[in-house]
Chain A
């Protein structure tokens, strides 16, 4: 049973460019959350998708947007990249119907902005 899978694993972009990161949730999970983890810091919540809608959002600018598809997979888009967007981007999924169910994380996409 595959867990949460993310692609690509590593990515290098130039300041000002746009990037799309992809996530496939664990089988049976319908909710996807995205987190940003800067070096040496704990992950920070970006937003969560459920039923193809953004349900919650953290303190991130509108340059960060997302999408969830009917098969529950998700994309994270970041426009006008800044050097400070360099981080590990983590996707997490959880089971339907239980608000406190544990999150299952992927191993992330390492984004470097030069």
Chain B
């Protein structure tokens, strides 16, 4: 599986935007970029995924670099509830059947 690299931790203030980076220089053409987050004492929660184009949903936006070697998860206005571990995961297109390979993720701290 192609590997992702994320910062160990990031901090933000409430109501400010947060940009969480992820590097995936060995990504293949059919790999999807998925983001999950895990709040304290809960299971992981799907956030967003994309292949080539930027994606938006009610939770966040995903900006994918033109060469696809990096991506950024954008939380437009952080709230205290967004404090979690964020995982960037590559999923091989058409073959994964839900086998996610989690790394260490980025611990996001949100200050009031």
- Which positions in A face B, CB cutoff 8 Å? 4, 31, 33, 35, 41-45, 48, 50, 55-56, 58, 90, 92, 94, 99-108
Given contacts A4-B43, A58-B99, contact A99 B87 (CB under 8 A): no
The main secondary structure of chain B at its interface with chain A is loop
A-B contact pairs, 7 of them (CB 8 A): A35-B102, A44-B102, A48-B97, A92-B98, A105-B44, A105-B45, A107-B43
Q: Interface 1/0s, chain B 81-112, versus A by CB < 8 A?
A: 00001010001011111111111110000000
Q: In whole angstroms, what is the CA distance A41 to B85 when docked? A: 10
Q: In whole angstroms, what is the CA distance A50 to B96 when docked? A: 13
Does A50 contact B97, Cβ atoms closer than 8 Å? Answer: yes
Does B96 contact A92, Cβ atoms closer than 8 Å? Answer: no
Q: Is B68 an interface residue (CB 8 A)?
A: no
Q: How far is the CB of B108 from chain A (nearest CB, A)?
A: 15
Residue of B nearest to A103 (CB): B98
Interface size on B, residues (CB 8 A): 26
Residue of B nearest to A47 (CB): B99
- Which positions in B face A, CB cutoff 8 Å? 32, 34, 36, 41-46, 49, 85, 87, 91, 93-105
Does A103 contact B100, Cβ atoms closer than 8 Å? Answer: yes
Interface centre among B43, B46, B96, B104, by most A CB within 10 Å? B43
Does B44 contact A33, Cβ atoms closer than 8 Å? Answer: no
Residue of B nearest to A40 (CB): B104
Q: In whole angstroms, what is the CA distance A107 to B85 when docked? A: 15
* Partner among B46, B49, B87, B95 whose Cβ is within 8 Å of the Cβ of A42: B87
Does B49 contact A90, Cβ atoms closer than 8 Å? Answer: no
Does B46 contact A33, Cβ atoms closer than 8 Å? Answer: no
* Partner among A31, A42, A90 whose Cβ is within 8 Å of the Cβ of B43: A90
Does A99 contact B103, Cβ atoms closer than 8 Å? Answer: no
| Known contacts A42-B103, A45-B101, A100-B93, then 16 further A-B pairs from the complex at CB < 8 Å, ordered by chain A residue | A4-B43, A35-B102, A48-B97, A55-B97, A58-B99, A90-B43, A99-B95, A99-B98, A100-B94, A102-B34, A102-B49, A105-B43, A105-B44, A105-B45, A107-B42, A107-B43
Report A-chain residues with C-beta under 8 Å of the C-beta of B97. Answer: 31, 48, 50, 55-56, 99
